[in-house]
Amino acid sequence: MERLQALRGMVDLLPPQTMVWQQVEAQARQHFQHAGVGEIRTPLLEATALFARGIGEATDVVGKEMYSFQDRGRRSCTMRPEGTASVVRASIQHGLLSQGPQRLWYMGPMFRYERPQAGRQRQFHQIGLELLGVADERSDVDAIALAWDLLADLGVQGLQLQINTLGTPEDRRCYREQLVGWLEQRAHELDPDSRRRLGSNPLRILDSKNQATQHLLSGAPQLLETLGKGSRERFDRVCQLLQALDIPFVLQPRLVRGLDYYTHTAFEITCDQLGAQATVCGGGRYDGLAAMLGGPPTAGMGWAMGVERLVLLLAQQVKASPPQVVVLNRGDTAQVSALVLTRQLRRANLHVELDLSGAAFARQFKRADRTGGGLAVIIGEQEAQVGVVKLKWLHQTPQQRGSGLAMGEEWTVPAAEASGTVGRLLNGEPRAQSQAEPTPV
């Protein structure tokens, strides 16, 4: 029988990886809580029209990468390829935009049919921020600062903020005419993908990964040169505020992002430790998106981080925490006693590992030592029958050396008192001197 495997681009997360994911998720949740940002959760499955209208039918995401199908009601449905359109749709549907500015964040899987590579899968995960209902340029900088500080708190090194402005739709229309005219004269020098985009989405040519095309674009007109006065002043103010926050940035005039809904500020945060997949966070302003989706005109600013890329960066920094207690046991009665005590210790909020092998104690001790566990609780058949357990340090912290139980020494205590005694030893408290040490009979 053929062995079944995960689909290409769909990755299983095993315990060593999920530890890193949990750290990223916990840090993000705490970060947003401190910033007064509320969590929103939207469905994985949406109407295809949401993304076709919001992202843009000429984009690669809509044109080539979406997982779309018809359901039994013959409705076209799509596994969400990004989070912003869903958050804005939910905000419109539930009347959030009429309740004042909204500060929202999300976390979850997205789906795009593209070539899998390191840090990029067909099911991938994003952490995202959306600030709705605030048009002031300070919200642009607030959003960027939240991303920058979260990455710094996670310990990501080698960060660079690249920033650009896309201006207003009018600015872009003017620039598009200039760019298309310039590119049409040089169409024979473009790569095939860029020639295809020339008629449908020419601004995306600026983001081409083809080196020859990038070299050609070094002489192309720049959007900054066609900005209206208001757009230019707004972008200058954004740059000034970033400087006030001591967030270094690099002007990247060919940064346009991949979705049609962006206006004014666009940015990416890259990391020098990821090679070709250098971008760990990207986003920008999207003041027209809510109206495109049938809602009231609403300013918007947001970003998304790729969790897989963060995990690649942080995997070497996160190590499994060893158990505080390892419960070793052998014998029918001892196994029951060990199960009862393990539950008591776990309910006391201790990290406890129970050996279920039934192997000889010598083998159990070898395994326990490899875990890096702190205190061993030993229950053999004789101990279980007289109601005692034995305690022995496997590894000690400096604080625990004052407990009065030295490394290698075994101490026998009543089973009824084992949970409290274990807690005191782990806290470095001295064992009770008045307590008589029971002796098995």
Where exactly does CATH 3.30.930.10 map onto the chain? 15-167+227-314
pLDDT for 58 equals: 63
Neighbours of 73 (CB within 10 A): 6
Terminal Cα-to-Cα distance of the chain (whole angstroms): 57
Listed in sequence order, the residues at least 6 apart from 42 whose beta carbon sits closer than 8 Å to its beta carbon are 80, 83, 86, 87, 89, 90, 106
> Any idea what DSSP says for residue 81?
S
Per-residue pLDDT tens digits for 345-363: 999 999 999 999 999 999 9
What CA–CA distance (Å, rounded) separates 158 from 224?
Answer: 27
Look at 257 and 420; give whichever has higher pLDDT: 420
Q: What is the mean pLDDT of residues 181-198?
A: 85
What's the order of all strands across the beta sheet hosting 410-414? 352-354, 325-329, 375-379, 388-393, 410-414
Which range among 90-94, 236-240, 319-323 shows the weakest confidence by mean pLDDT? 319-323
Residue with the larger pLDDT of the pair 26 and 117:
26
User: Is 15-167+227-314 a CATH 3.40.190.10 domain?
Assistant: no
Other Cβ atoms less than 10 A from the Cβ of 95: the count is 9
Structure confidence at residue 440 (pLDDT): 39
Q: Which residue has the higher pLDDT, 193 or 368?
A: 368
CATH 3.40.50.800 location in the chain: 325-426
Closest CA to 379 of 440, 427, 328, 304: 328
- pLDDT exceeds 80 at position 376: yes
pLDDT band at 275 (very low <50, low <70, confident <90, very high): low
**Which tens digits make up the pLDDT trace of 286-344?**
998 999 999 999 999 999 999 998 988 887 666 778 999 999 999 999 999 999 999 99
Cα separation, 411 vs 369, in Å, equals 18
* Model confidence band, residue 126 (pLDDT cutoffs 50, 70, 90): very high
Residue 17 in this model has a pLDDT that exceeds 70: yes
Tell me the average pLDDT of the chain. 89
pLDDT band at 259 (very low <50, low <70, confident <90, very high): low
Which range among 290-299, 368-377, 431-440 shows the weakest confidence by mean pLDDT?
431-440
Model pLDDT for residues 379-388, shown as the tens digit of each residue: 999 999 999 9
Confidence bin at 398 (pLDDT 50/70/90):
confident
CB 249 within 8 Å of CB 145: no
The pLDDT, as a whole number, for residue 223 is 84
Q: Give pLDDT, residue 283.
A: 94
CATH number belonging to domain 325-426:
3.40.50.800
pLDDT tens digits, 197-226: 887 778 878 877 788 888 888 888 888 888
Model confidence at 36: pLDDT above 80: yes
- Percent of the chain residues topping a pLDDT of 90: 64
Q: How far is CA 81 from CA 66, 70, 278, in A?
A: 6, 17, 20
